[in-house]
């Protein structure tokens, strides 16, 4: 892909941001400078900005000649930039497009990345998303392992004595599903959920290792506790905020458009 050189000019990048501010001021009734106007005003503030920029890159203030050159460059870029916009050169250029999109998203989410929510905000978020935190049900159970399904059935029918040896815990106390899954795998954890918590041997149920019979003595919903979960809630809230801000900023814009899609 070849790019017109001007798309790499810093001032294009700068002025996109600048244009945002200009229009923002125009829109809020401030000092109006329309990027499509034929007037280019290089006021004191703008000149100071140019001088500062020079100083940042060169680590020294510009001389008078240099500031004049910077102003001339600014005017030149501004003229070409506006003409480029008039010609619609910003359109259909994947790089300009992607960069602007990314900047918009970044602008919308930046503040949320470091925002610190008040506790009531977090409590409200916690309340709204309670299901997300109360999903865990702890289970207390015993299990015996068998290499074959037939052996497991036989053990159930004849009254249990012992299973085949394997390095799996014979009993787990108030274990969270994640803990059970880490040790016994997904298939077993799902099957265990179907066994009534009545303290009686049941099964056989399958695992990645073979067959098991299990007796569940207790199953308790873990009551989510705000204090314990607060840091995680804050993380989740922050992530949700970032997504929400992007969504909202987009929504505001999106409402200004009518989209027609041929199917």
Partner 1 sequence: MTRVWSRLALAGAAALMVAGCESAPVDDAKSGDGEGTIELAEFPDRPYWGDTHLHTDNSVDAFGFGVRLGPEEALRFARGEEVTATTGAQAKLARPLDFLVIADHSDGLGATRRLYDAPRLRVVAQGDDTLLRWYDMMHESPEQSQLAIAELITAAANDELPAALADPERQKEATTEIWGAQLDLLDRYNEPGTFTAFAGFEWTLMPDGNNLHRVVMFRDGSARTRQVLPFPGLSTTAEQLWDYMVAYEESTGGKVLAIPHNSNLSNGLMFELTMPDGSPMTAEYAAKRAAAEPVVEVTQIKGDSETHPFLSPNDEMAGFGVKGWELGNLPLTAKTDDSMLAGNYIREALKRGLSLEQQLGVNPYAFGMIGSTDSHTALATGDEDNFWGKHTGNEQANTERANQAQNLGTREGRFGWHYLAGGYAAAWARGNTRAEIFDAFQRREVYATTGPRMSVRVFGGFDFEEADWDNDWVRKGYTSGVPMGGELTDSGEAPRFMISALKDPDGANLDRVQVVKGWIDASGELQEQVYDVAWSDPEERLMTGDGLFPVGDTVNREDATYTNDIGAAELRTVWTDPDYEEGQRAFYYVRVIEIPTPRWTLFDAARFGITLSEDAMANAVAQERAYTSPIWLKPRA
Contact set with partner 1 (CB under 8 A): 1, 3, 8-11, 13-14, 19-21, 23-24, 26-28, 34-36, 53, 56-58, 85-86, 94-95, 99, 104, 107-112, 114-117, 147, 165-169, 178, 181-188, 207-210, 231-232, 234-235, 239, 245, 248-250, 252-253, 256
- At 254 the three-state DSSP class reads helix
Burial (Cβ within 10 Å: 0-12, 13-18, ≥19) of residue 167: exposed
Rounded Cα gap, residues 194 and 178, in angstroms: 17
- Judged by beta carbon, residue 86 or residue 154, the one nearer partner 1 is 86
DSSP 154-168: HHHHH--------SS
Shortest spacing between CB 45 and partner 1, in angstroms = 19
- Judged by beta carbon, residue 99 or residue 219, the one nearer partner 1 is 99
- Report whether 202 contacts 195 (CB < 8 A): yes
- Give me the torsion for CA of 44, 45, 48, 50, rounded to 10°: -110
- Report whether 224 contacts 130 (CB < 8 A): yes
Shortest spacing between CB 57 and partner 1, in angstroms = 4
- Judged by beta carbon, residue 20 or residue 40, the one nearer partner 1 is 20
Shortest spacing between CB 155 and partner 1, in angstroms = 17
164-171: long-range contacts, CB 8 A cutoff, minimum separation 24: 164/210, 166/209, 166/210, 168/143, 168/209, 170/142, 170/143, 170/144, 171/140, 171/141, 171/142, 171/143
Shortest spacing between CB 180 and partner 1, in angstroms = 10
- Judged by beta carbon, residue 25 or residue 200, the one nearer partner 1 is 25
- Judged by beta carbon, residue 196 or residue 252, the one nearer partner 1 is 252
117-121: long-range contacts, CB 8 A cutoff, minimum separation 24: 117/234, 117/237, 117/238, 121/237
Shortest spacing between CB 21 and partner 1, in angstroms = 8
- Judged by beta carbon, residue 182 or residue 196, the one nearer partner 1 is 182
Instruction: Kindly state the helix (H) or strand (E) to which residue 238 belongs, with its residue range.
Output: helix 226-254
Shortest spacing between CB 107 and partner 1, in angstroms = 4
């Amino acid at each position: 892909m070849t790019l017109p050189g001007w798309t790499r000019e810093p001032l294009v990048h700068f002025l996109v941001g600048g244009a945002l501010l200009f229009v923002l001021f125009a829109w809020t009734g401030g000092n109006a400078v329309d990027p499509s106007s034929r007037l280019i005003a290089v006021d004191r503030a703008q000149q100071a900005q140019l001088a500062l920029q020079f100083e940042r890159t060169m680590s020294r203030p510009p001389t008078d000649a240099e500031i004049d050159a910077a102003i001339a460059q600014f005017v030149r870029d501004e003229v070409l930039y506006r003409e480029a916009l008039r010609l619609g050169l910003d359109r259909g250029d994947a790089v300009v497009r992607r960069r602007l999109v990314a900047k918009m998203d970044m602008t919308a989410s930046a503040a949320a990345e470091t925002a610190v929510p008040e506790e009531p905000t977090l409590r409200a978020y916690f309340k709204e998303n309670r299901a997300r935190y109360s999903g865990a049900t702890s289970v207390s159970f015993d299990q015996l392992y068998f290499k074959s399904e037939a052996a497991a059935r036989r053990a159930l029918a004849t009254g249990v004595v012992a299973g085949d040896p394997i390095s799996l815990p014979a009993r787990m106390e108030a274990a969270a599903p994640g803990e059970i899954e880490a040790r016994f795998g997904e298939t077993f954890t799902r099957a265990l959920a179907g066994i009534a918590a009545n303290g009686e041997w049941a099964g056989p149920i399958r695992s990645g290792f073979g067959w098991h019979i299990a007796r569940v003595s207790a199953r308790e919903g873990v009551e989510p506790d705000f204090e314990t979960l607060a840091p995680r809630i804050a993380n989740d809230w922050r992530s949700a905020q970032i997504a929400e801000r992007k969504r909202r900023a987009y929504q505001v814009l999106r409402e200004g458009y009518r989209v027609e899609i041929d199917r």
